[in-house]
Structure 1
Amino acid sequence: MSGSADVYSLLKEELKGTGAEVLTPDSPGYGESIKRWSEHCEKRAKAVVKPTTPTDVSTTLRFIRTHKIPFVVRGGGHSTSGSSSIEDGLVIDLSKMRKVTVDPEAKTITAEGGTIWEDVDVEAAKFGLATVGGTVNHTGVGGLTLGGGYGYLSGKYGLTIDNLLSVDIVLASGETTTASKDENPDLFWAIRGAGQNFGVVTSFTFRAHPQPNPVFAGTLVFLPEKLPQIVAFANKFHETTDGNQALLWGFSAPPPLNLPVVLTQIFHNGDAEFAATFFGDLLALEPVVNTTAMIPYEKLNGLLNHTAGFDGRKQFGGGAFKLPLNPIFVQALLGDFLDFTSARERMNESLMLFETVPYKKTLEVGNDEMSFSNRGEYYNVATCFKWFDPKLDTEVREFSRALLKKASQAAGVVQDEQVRSVEGVGTYGNYSDVDIPASEIYGGNAKKLAELKHKYDPENLFSRGTRLIPRPVVVVN
């Protein structure tokens, strides 16, 4: 392994005059370059490379192979698994590649690998278009897309990867290629769900949808005693949504009061009159905070930004639940959550969120049609714990896993191997740690992924995501 300063001086020479930057710990801007959304994911890399073109990425990957340098790829820096940070090697930071191009006639959006969702939403809105993006707009397009991608428009248009038409990708060999339904279709199958294991995606092209009108959306905050009625509404939502709505709801104790509350984020892709009727049962519960309004679509994915600031240590976790839910069961989960967070210092901004995003459209694509394997008649439940004391790192991770396991099993989502291979894994990869078995994320697709890993990355250069070990293809004569 080569990690000396002399090695990175050689890389600087190779990239000289290209527009790419190579930052080492003594470089101006290095400190900012290793910042991450979660402080526990910040690591002092030996060097940070900021390419501006696919050729820069290719040059860097070839250099990495030659000098056997460990590396990671950073898009938006939102991963809480630490997969975009490294101490003993190099970061390929795509943040200088943020160009977005919209073709209004073809209804496509092309976004470079370092874009965030705000870049996409704002540019597409200029043409009255949108695609399925994340619910926090400073999330990276690359990370969310390569892992699947749920958003407010999923009820109408499916997952982000269901709207992905093609990618430009730099492979482990340094070769730049395109993957789509018609070009390298096996690679396109793999990257839609497991893309971080196969290369550096430098460009995404998405299908765009007409979105000329504003939407109804906002936050409703309730006191905890309203939880049974909110669960009842979620059960009703499951039966009445036409795909144009979304309901996110869960628990937290946010500032300034730092007291337990039930948060709901509601969305309707249409007018306020219909929304007032559809969400009438919630609105009638007299929320202590109501920010709902008609807003431009490009503002929608920024509504939750204030709950996702860049301070503190954070840990995502994911599971699944089915509706209807029993309010008594949900109140027990609230109790477990509050017992843990209130007993530890500065954990009040932690969140448990039931993501009631309609899944009918998502189910139109089978779990065998791409590597993503979390399609089923269930919804995602997520935790995002936030804390400041490094001594709590392991304790938080273990509690998150236990709470989500309890929620998923008691909420009717069975996750044994037999069911996982047929109905969907019940675990969203973007909410998972990298140390869990590939079968928990990819189910019955894990074997095929290992074979494709052998084809496209036989030396396992991209080894920092969910662990896919290349499986040689056995040829029987």
Structure 2
Amino acid sequence: MSDMEALVRKSMEGTKAEVLVPNDGEKYEQAIQRWSEHCIQRAKCVIKVSCADDITSALSFIRTQKIPFVVRGGGHSTSSSSSITDGIVIDLSLMRRVTVFPDSKTIRAEGGTLWVDVDEEAAKYDLATVGGTVNHTGVGGLTLGGGYGFLTGKYGLTIDNLLEVDIVLASGEQVTASATLNSDLFWAVRGAGHNFGVVTSFTFQAFDQPRPVFAGPLIFPLAKLPQVVDFVNTFHEINDGNQAILWGVSCPPPAHVPVLLTQLFHNGTVDEAKALFAPLFALDPIANMTASIPYKTVNSLLNPTAGFDGRKQFGGGAFKLPLSIDLVQSLVDKLFAFINARKGMEESLLLFETVPYREVVKVKNDAMAFSNRGEYYNLAIMMKWHDEGMDAEVRNFVRDLAKGAGLAEGAVRKDGEEVKDGVDGVGIYGNYANSDVPASEIYGNNAKKLQELKQKYDPDNLFDRGTRLVSKPVVVMN
């Protein structure tokens, strides 16, 4: 038994936590698995906590021994923020209880919860809240970074519907943060929560969702790109917040040939949806998998494009409507030129997330740490590959693809014009950004206040992963 293993096990005596080390075989191997294979790192120790007291004990040991650590919620990050080789993982995956309070229409989800847990439990009461677009992502990661989902057009971001959190601070203290309790901490958590502690529970506002929704993919040949762009350019005017359309290009299995993908959503009837999306149905799609389905199923529709195999890298920027076909075509051409010249990259995806933002921009960018509010939409670049030797060039390509089209991190583009931070927000979604992006680009004018709050709640920078608010070396135990 190594010195660290012995110390960790001793420090966690009397708790409910499970301590795993490399010699623990399959249980350890499962504990270090991540959504992206390039984020799998062989931690010296994994502490699978089951309650806030376990986390307090773990943080006490980490502070005393000055050991680097990370927190794992859903393990869905592509920046390795939930993985480590020279330290400890605090693993929240045992904390997945969801409690629905139908009288107040609120939902309490523990820190390790996945969105599938929330969607399915809420559906038992004909309720829903704003989640993501893939249901095997962690509630914690998505929420602390903002949270766009299919219900955003009607109810805003996930953090706009966050009522309170229970959080373990760097000191080990367990506190509640809300609009009335530790309100400055609540301000910081909504957008930069990973810098301030370990959230053990989230309480969300929920909404009535008794009816099914219309959703699913329409797939077109690439030749239909101009017509689809034409339709999307009208979308801002024709939607009422109950619709969304995600669209982009990839080479999905089994054929692995380039296609134009669209994912439709309408919170209403089939007839209403087919009338609104009529121009797309008239384009004679090569595949139509749309249907009337329960809302709890919606966030599973994109799961096949976001499986757990392979190495992955997220990146992106933002776009405004109307889009020119020349700009879109230039992005598509660059993507396919890159992936066609390399093996095993066919499932890479360029996705224009056209989710209505009217409710999002009703909240000011200084209302909370999250700063990506503006009259624009998110562009997601998701690269997938298998060769470890390609890691660096893929990372560089993601950055170059955005910059080459004027969609650099922190920029918004419309009709050839680049717009920087201001009334429009920062123009980059923090959950899609790499961890080395400066805090000023993610948080804009909120960065200074966040740095001040960091000194109040985590003066020693114990939580130093993800987008860093301060730079301070961590002493590693020998």
> 1:428-443, aligned counterparts within 5 Å?
428-443=429-444
- For residues 333-364 of structure 1, give each alpha carbon's deviation from its aligned partner in whole angstroms, at most 9, with x where no partner exists: 11111101111111000000000000000011
- Partner SS state of residue 334, structure 2: helix
Structure 2 residue 100 is the aligned partner of structure 1 residue 105 = no
Aligned to 1:320: 318
- Partner SS state of residue 394, structure 1: helix
- What is the rounded CA distance, in whole Å, between the counterparts of 1:406 and 1:156 in structure 2? 33
Aligned to 1:18: 15
- For residues 179-237 of structure 1, give each alpha carbon's deviation from its aligned partner in whole angstroms, at most 9, with x where no partner exists: 00000000000010000000000000000000011000000110000000000010011
> 1:76-475, aligned counterparts within 5 Å?
76-407=74-405, 408=407, 410-411=413-414, 419-469=420-470
Query: 329-338 or 90-99, which moves further after superposition?
Result: 329-338
- Partner SS state of residue 23, structure 2: coil
Give ranges in structure 2 of 5+ residues lacking alignment.
Answer: 473-478
Shift of 1:412: 5.3
| 8 Å Cα contact 2:320-2:413 kept in structure 1 | no
- Partner SS state of residue 72, structure 1: strand
- Partner SS state of residue 420, structure 1: coil
Shift of 1:257: 0.8
Amino acid at match of 1:445: N
- What is the rounded CA distance, in whole Å, between the counterparts of 1:288 and 1:86 in structure 2? 44
Inter-CA distance 453–432: structure 2 relative to 1 (3 Å threshold): same
Select the residue among 47, 52, 71 that pairs with 2:45: 47
Percent identity of equivalent pairs:
64
Query: 419-428 or 367-376, which moves further after superposition?
Result: 419-428
Pairwise CA RMSD: 1.4
Shift of 1:43: 0.3
Taking structure 1 as the reference length, the TM-score comes to: 0.96
| 8 Å Cα contact 2:50-2:92 kept in structure 1 | yes
| 8 Å Cα contact 2:318-2:413 kept in structure 1 | no
- Partner SS state of residue 43, structure 1: coil
- What is the rounded CA distance, in whole Å, between the counterparts of 2:413 and 2:193 in structure 1? 32
- For residues 382-441 of structure 1, give each alpha carbon's deviation from its aligned partner in whole angstroms, at most 9, with x where no partner exists: 10000011111111111111112234265459767xx41432000000001110110110
Select the residue among 52, 70, 73 that pairs with 1:72: 70
Amino acid at match of 1:81: S
| 8 Å Cα contact 1:373-1:442 kept in structure 2 | yes
Taking structure 2 as the reference length, the TM-score comes to: 0.96
- What is the rounded CA distance, in whole Å, between the counterparts of 2:416 and 2:145 in structure 1? 21
- For residues 447-475 of structure 1, give each alpha carbon's deviation from its aligned partner in whole angstroms, at most 9, with x where no partner exists: 0000000000000000011011189xxxx
Question: How many matched pairs?
Answer: 466
After TM superposition, what 4+ stretches of structure 1 lie above 4 angstroms from structure 2? 412-416
Shift of 1:15: 2.4
